[in-house]
A and B are shown apart, each in its own frame.
Chain A
Amino acid sequence: MSQPVITLQQISYLGPVLVIVLTVLVLLMTDVICRLRPSRQGLSLLTGFGVALGGSIVALVYSIFLWHRLTVLKVGKLAELFPVNGPPRSVSAMETSPVWSSGTLVVDYFAVFVCLLVCGVLILVCFNFKPYLRINKLHRSELFPLLLLSASGMMLLSMSRDLLSTFISIEIVSLPLYVLCGLNERSRANQESSLKYFLLGAFGSGFFIYGASLVYGAVGHMNYAAIAYFAKHSLESSSILMIGLALVGAGLAFKLALVPFHAWVPDVYQGAPTPVTAFMAAGVKLAVFAAALRLVLEAFPLMDLSFWRGSISLLAALSMVVGNLLALHQMSAKRLLAYSAIAHTGYIAVGLASGLSTSATSILIYLVGYALAGLGAFTLISYLAPDGQDDIYLDEMHELSKRAPVSALAFAILMLSMAGFPLTLGFVGKLMVFSDAWRAGLYGLVIFAVLNSVISVYYYLRFILAMYMQPKAPGAAELVLKRMPGTYILTGIITVVLTLLLGVIPHMLIAWAQSCQLAGL
C-alpha cells in the first residue's frame, strides 16, 4: 500500500494541511518579533490576524485547486471508481480505488471537501476574533497559531483511515482547543470551561486509545480496511474486537457529544469565549463527523448491521430527546444553542446510522447548514453581548426587532434554518438525512427524529418571540448596542446569504457534495 519513499508529488496532496502548519510557524516567528517591544502589542494582534487570514485563504484556494486536480486526474475512471448507486462495497475495490493514499491517510474528494469547509470556518472564525479581542481587551496573539493548529488537525481527521492517525488528529484538534477555551485568564467561566473540557476530553481519549489497542490486538492492524477484512473473514465474532470498537465508539461519541457523552458540552460552550464556541460548534463537529463517517463506511460495512446501527441509533435517539428537553428552559443563548447542538448531533447521527453510500453527501450538507447557522448565530451573540458578559440572555433580547432590525432578522433566519424551516439550508440537510434513514429502513428513528424537530421549533421560536413579539419587561436592563464591527457584518452577511441562497437553490452544493464519495466506497 504505502511506498517507502514519499515523493514531492505525494506531499503536495497534503497541501492544505501543510499550508496551515507553515502558517503556524510563520505566526510564531512574527509573534516573537512583534513582541520584542511591549508597545507593539496592538501590532502583534493585527499581524497575527493578517497572517492567519492569509494562510487560511491560501489553504482554501489550495483545496479548490486540489479538488480540481483530483477531477482532472481521475476523470476517466470516476464512474467506475465511485458509482453512486453501485454494487456493494468490497475490500478489493477498497485497495484499488484511493485517489491518493498512504497507509494511514487518504486524500479523496470527501477529505478535500472537508478541508475546504474547515478553511471556510477558519476564515469566518478569524473574522470573529479580531473585534472580539479588541472589545474584550484581550492581548492574546498566540490564539491564532492555536486556532490554525486545531484546524490542521481537523483536516487530518477527515483524511485518516487508521485508528492511530484518527487518535493523533483528534488530539491535534483538541489540545489547542483546551487552551483556547481558557483564553481569558481573568474570566472564571473561561477557566472552568477549559478545565472541564480538558479533564473530560483526556478521559475520553483514554477510552479511545485503549479501545484502539484492543482492536489492534484482535486484528493485528489499526487500518480500517484491515478491520473490515478481519470482520469479514473471521468466522466467530471476536469479543476483544467488539469491546475495542465499543470503546473507540465511546471516544468518538464523546467528541461528537452524543448523549450520554454530552455532559461537557453546555458548560464548555457557555464558558468558552464565543468565537471559540463557534469554532467548536462548526469545525469540530464537522471534522469528527467526517472521521466517524469514514469509520462507519470503511471499517463497518461488512459487519453485522445490528452491531453498529443499533448503538448509533440508540445514542442518536437519546441525544435528540435529551438535547431538546434540556434546551427548552434555558435563558442563556449560548447554553441554549449548546443543547441544541447536542440535538443536532442526534439528527446527524440518524444519517450516520443509515450508513448508505449517499450518507456522506447528506451529512455534509447538513453540516454545512449547521455550521453556517451556528457561526452566524454565535457572531451575533458576541455582537449583542453586554460588556464583560460574553453571552446574552433571552430576556435581554426583547424588542430587539425595533432596536436592531437587521440583526434581529438575521438571527431569526439563522434560527429558522436550525429549526429546519423550508427555503433554508437547514431544511435541505434535514430532508436529506432523514430521507436517507427512511430509505435505510429506520422508520421508527425517522419518526422519532421528526417529532423531536417539532419540539425543537419551540425553543428556536422563543428567540423570535423574544425579538419580535415580547415587549420589554419594565425592570429589564437596557441593551447597549454598539456600532457593529465590519468583520461581524461580513460574517453575518456571508452566513445569512449562504443559508438562504443554498436553501433556495442548493442543487449546486448538492452536486458538489455528491461527488464526495469516500475513496473506499
Chain B
Amino acid sequence: MLDLVWLAIAFPLIGVLINGLFGRVIRSKLISGIIGCTALGLSFAVAVLTWLDYTYQFWTTRDGPYYEVVLWPWMYIGNLKIDAGLLVDPLSIVMFLFVTGVSFLIHIYSTGYMAHDEGYSRFFTYLNLFVAMMLILVLGNNGAVMFVGWEGVGLCSYLLIGFWYKDMYNANCGMKAFVVNRIGDFGVLLGLFMLFTYFGSLNFTTIFKEAGSVLEPGSWIPLAIALFLFLGATGKSAQFPLHIWLPDAMAGPTPVSALIHAATMVTAGVYMVARLNPIFNASPTAGFVVALVGCFTAFMAATVAMTQNDIKKVLAYSTVSQLGYMFLACGVGAYWVAIFHVVTHAFFKACLFLGSGSVIHGMHEEQDTRYMGALAKFMPWTYFTFLASTIAIAGIIPFAGFFSKDEILWQVAIWQTRFGWAPTMLWIVAALTALMTAFYMGRVTWKTFQGQQRWTPEFVEKHKHPHESGAAMVMPLVVLSALAVVAGFLLFTPPWLGNNTTLKDFLAPSTANAQYVKTHAAAEPGQHQPEHELPAPGAEAASAGHAGEHHAAFISLGNVTATEIAFAAFSVLLALIGLLVSRQIFVNQPKATEAWKKHWAPAYQFSLNKWFFDELYHRVIVVPGTAVAYACWRFFDLRIVDGIVNGTAWIVGVTGHLVRPLQTGFVRNYALYLLLGVVILLIFNLVK
C-alpha cells in the first residue's frame, strides 16, 4: 500500500476534473456532491490502509522506518536534484489520516450546508482541490514539493474565502488573506534557498541526516533558516504579526472555515516546524522566538475572542489562540505534543465550526450571538456536540483538549533553556490563556444555546423558531464530537493516569529529540542526534534529572508525579472556573448585570442594542483582562498591526502612483532617461 500513497492525491484531483469540467453539464447537485465525497472517502481509505500497513511494519521492526515514494524526477539542474516524491513516515501519516478524515466529514456536511447554493459544483471543485494540495503539502518528501502544496492551499483558501464573490467585501477578504500569506511565502522561499545552499538538497531525509554535521548549533545559519521558515509559518498559521487575515477569512462559507481555517490548512505552519525540527533544534534562539510568538499570540487572541459577538469571529480568534499553543509546544521542543494538539484541535474546532454553521443555518444566516439564545431546545444535536467540543477545548478531564493542552503546559513548565525567566513567564501566560479560553468558549456556548431568546423580531415573524439541521449535517457533528471526547485518552495519557503513550511512541522517530534517541537507541536511520540537550518529555523526566544542570527550569524535578498531578488539577480548575463563571453571568444573571451596567457604563445607551454583554466584561468581570482585551482589539489589532500591513501596501501603492507621471509619453524625456542610464553605467564603471 505504501507505494500507492499517491492515489490519495489522485482521487481528489479526479474529483476536481469531473466537477470542474463537467459541473455545468451535470447540473445535478446530488451527483456533484457524491463525486466530491466519494473522492474524499477513497482518499481516506488510502490513508487508513497506509497507516495499517505502516503500523504493521512499525510494530514488527520496532524502529521507525520511512518510505520515500519517488513519482518522477522533477528538476535536475546541476547539483540541484528535486524529485516529485512523497515521504511516508509517522509524522506525515498522522497528518495524512486526520486531514483526509476530517475533510471527508466536512465534505459530507457541505452537501447539506451548501444545498441551496448555486455554485454547488464549483464549491466541491475548490474543496477537492484544496484537499489534494493539502496532501501534497503534508506528504511531500522535499521542500519544493511541500512548497507546491503550501502555495496551492493558499490559492484554494483565497478562492474559497471569496466564494460568494458577489459581495465585494468577501472578495477583498480573500485578497487580503492571499497577500498576507505571500509575505510568509517569501520567508519560506528564502528558507528553502538557504537549506539548499547549505545542504545541497531539499530532501527532508538528507536534511535530517546531515543537519548534525552541517549546522553548527547556535550559529547564525540555523537561526536564519529557522526564522525565515517560521516567518512562513506565521503567515500560514495566522500567528502574530501576520494573524490578521484569519478573522477576515470567516467571510467564506462555514464548512470552509471549519476545514481550512481551523482544522487543516492553518496547521500547516505547525507541521512545517515539526517536520523540519532538526533545523529548529539546532538553534535554541529560534526555538525561543517560536515559543514567545506562539505564547503571545495565544494570549492576545484569547483576550480578543472574549469581546467578539459574531460567533464565527469568536471561533476564529480561538483558532489563532490554539495555534499559538501549538507553536509554544514547538518552541519548547515538544514537537509531538504540538502535533497531538493539532489533531485534537482539528476534532473539536472542526466540530465547533460545523456547529456554528448549523446554528447559522438554523437561524437563517444570523451570525451574531446577541440575537441568539436558548437554541438548545430547538437544536439539541447541535447543542450537545457543541457543548462537548467546548468542554474539550476548555480542557476538562477526560475530554481530548485536556490531554493535549495540559501536556503543553507541562512541557513548558519543564522546559530547560538558557533564558531563565522564560518557562515561568510562558507558563503563567499560557495558564491565564487557558482560563480565558474556557471563559470565552463558555460565553459563546451559553449565549448561543442557553439563556433567553433574543431573536430578532423579523426572524421570529418569518421563521417562528430555528430548526435542527438535516442528517447530512448532524452526522459529521456527532462523529467529530465523539472524537473530541475520546481522542485524547486513546492517543495519550500522562504517566499518572495510565501512561498511554501511543501517539508519542508513534511520532518519536519523526520528532525525535535527544531523550528519545537515548532511551530507545533505535532511532530511525534518517534521524540525526542533536548535539545539545533537549528537554526531557514528561514521562522520562524523572530519569533525566541531570539534564538541568546549567539550565533553569520552572520546576525542580523532585517528585514528578505529584507535581504533575497538581499541575493538571490546577489547569482543570482554571477551565472549570472559566466555564462556570461564564455560565453564571450569561445564563443566570443577565438581568443583574444589566442593572449593574446601568449604573456604571457610559456606553449604556448602546446596551439597548444588547451591547451590555461586551460592556459587562469590559468593565467588571475580568478587570485587568478587559482593558487588555479592548486595547488589543481596538488599538493593537486594528491600528498597529493592520496599520503596519495596510501601511506597507499603501506605501507601495502610493509609490506606484508617484512614479507614474515619469512615464510622460514624450520621446525626448525617454531619450533623457536613456542618457541618464548611460551616465549611471559610466560612473559605475569608471569610478570605483
Pick from B179, B186, B669: contact of A450, CB below 8 A. Answer: B186
Complex alpha-carbon distance, A195 and B182, angstroms: 41
Q: In the complex, which of the residues B193, B663, B681 contacts A326, with contact meaning CB atoms closer than 8 Å?
A: B663
The stretch that binds B, out of A34-42, A112-120, A199-207, A346-354, is A199-207
- Taking a contact as CB atoms under 8 Å apart, the answer to whether A438 and B178 are in contact is no
Q: A85-B78, A358-B77, A510-B77 are in contact. Are A465 and B685 (CB under 8 A)?
A: no
B686:A239 contact, CB within 8 angstroms: yes
- B366 in contact (CB, < 8 A): no
Residues on the B chain within 8 Å of A267, using CB: 663, 665
Q: How far is the CB of A228 from chain B (nearest CB, A)?
A: 17
Partner pick for A461 among B151, B178, B193, CB 8 A cutoff: B178
Determine if B152 is an interface residue (Cβ-Cβ < 8 Å). yes
B residues near A137, Cβ cutoff 8 Å: none
How long is the Cα–Cα vector from A180 to B151 in the complex, in angstroms?
Answer: 40
Closest Cβ neighbor of A409 among chain B residues = B20
Judged by a CB distance under 8 angstroms, whether B460 is at the interface is no
Contact A311 B663, CB 8 Å, known A260-B676, A510-B76: no
Given A239-B686, A329-B653, A457-B182, is A260 in contact with B680 using a C-beta cutoff of 8 Å?
yes
**Complex: A191 Cα to B166 Cα, angstroms:** 41
A505 to B74, alpha carbons, bound, how many Å?
Answer: 6
Q: Is the CB of B66 closer than 8 A to any CB of chain A?
A: no
CB distance B680 to A314 under 8 Å? yes
- With CB as the reference atom, state the residue of chain B lying closest to A358: B78
Determine whether A47 belongs to the interface, using a CB cutoff of 8 Å to chain B. no
Distance from A194 Cβ to chain B, minimum over Cβ atoms (Å): 12
**A328 and B653 in contact, given A200-B667, A457-B182 (Cβ under 8 angstroms):** yes
Q: Do B147 and A422 have beta carbons less than 8 Å apart?
A: yes
Mask: chain A, 77-121; 1 = CB below 8 Å from B; 0 = not = 000000011000000000000000000000000000000000000
Any chain A CB within 8 A of the CB of B249? no
Q: Which residues of A contact B79 (CB under 8 A)?
A: 85
Nearest-CB distance from B318 to chain A (Å)? 28
Q: Kindly supply a per-residue 1/0 record for chain A positions 307-350, scoring 1 wherever the CB is within 8 Å of any chain B CB and 0 otherwise.
A: 10011001100000010011111000000000000000000000
Q: Is the interface of A mostly helix, strand, loop or mixed?
A: helix
Q: Determine chain B's interface SS by DSSP, over half rule.
A: helix
Q: Is the CB of A470 within 8 A of B652?
A: no
User: A428 CA to B155 CA in the complex, in Å?
Assistant: 18
**Is the CB–CB distance between B655 and A203 below 8 Å?**
no
Question: For residue A468, which residues in chain B have a CB less than 8 angstroms away from its CB?
Answer: 159, 162, 165
Would you give the shortest CB distance from A295 to chain B, in whole angstroms?
A: 14
Q: Mark B141-176, 1 if CB is under 8 A from A, else 0.
A: 000100110111001000100100110100100110
CA distance A510 to B168 in the complex (A): 42
Say whether A471 contacts B190, CB under 8 Å: no
The answer, yes or no, to whether A9 is at the interface (CB within 8 Å) is no
Pick the interface stretch among A11-19, A241-249, A381-389: A241-249
Inside 8 A of B584's CB, which chain A residues have their CB?
none
Chain A neighbourhood of B144, CB < 8 A? 422, 431
| Complex-state Cα separation, A310 to B165, whole angstroms | 47
Chain A interface size band reads 35 or more
B673 contacts chain A at the CB level, 8 A cutoff? yes
- Chain B residues, CB < 8 A from A84: 78
B665 near A311: Cβ-Cβ < 8 Å: no
Which parts of A439-458 form the interface with B (CB within 8 Å)? 439, 446-447, 450-451, 454-455, 457-458
Residues from chain B with Cβ under 8 Å of A511 in the complex: 76
Q: Quick check: is B115 within 8 A (CB to CB) of the other chain?
A: no
Contact A435 B80, beta carbon cutoff 8 Å: yes
Beta-carbon contacts under 8 Å, B169-201 to A: 171, 174-175, 178-179, 182-183, 185-186, 189-190, 193-194, 196-197
* Contact among B24, B77, B178, B669 for A263, CB-based, below 8 A: B669
Contacts of B652 on A, CB cut-off 8 Å? 325, 328, 455
Q: Which residues of A contact B682 (CB under 8 A)?
A: 243, 246
Q: Which of A465-521 contact B (CB under 8 A)?
A: 465, 468-471, 504-507, 510-511, 514
> How far is B185's CA from A450's CA once the two chains are assembled, in angstroms?
9
| B80 and A454 contact, CB distance less than 8 A | no
Q: Which residues of B contact A362 (CB under 8 A)?
A: 77
Do B151 and A329 have beta carbons less than 8 Å apart? no
Report which residue of A263, A451, A465 has the largest number of chain B beta carbons within 10 angstroms of its beta carbon. Answer: A263
> Which residue from chain A places its CB closest to the CB of B187 in the assembled complex?
A450
B608 beta carbon closer than 8 Å to chain A: no
Q: How many Å from the CB of A209 to the closest CB on chain B?
A: 14
User: B671 in the interface, Cβ–Cβ < 8 Å?
Assistant: yes
Given A454-B182, A457-B182, answer yes or no on A246-B175 (Cβ-Cβ < 8 Å).
no
Inter-chain pairs besides A196-B670, A314-B680, A434-B193, 12 sampled, C-beta below 8 Å:
A243-B686, A249-B681, A261-B677, A326-B663, A405-B24, A421-B155, A432-B80, A438-B194, A439-B197, A454-B185, A454-B186, A510-B77
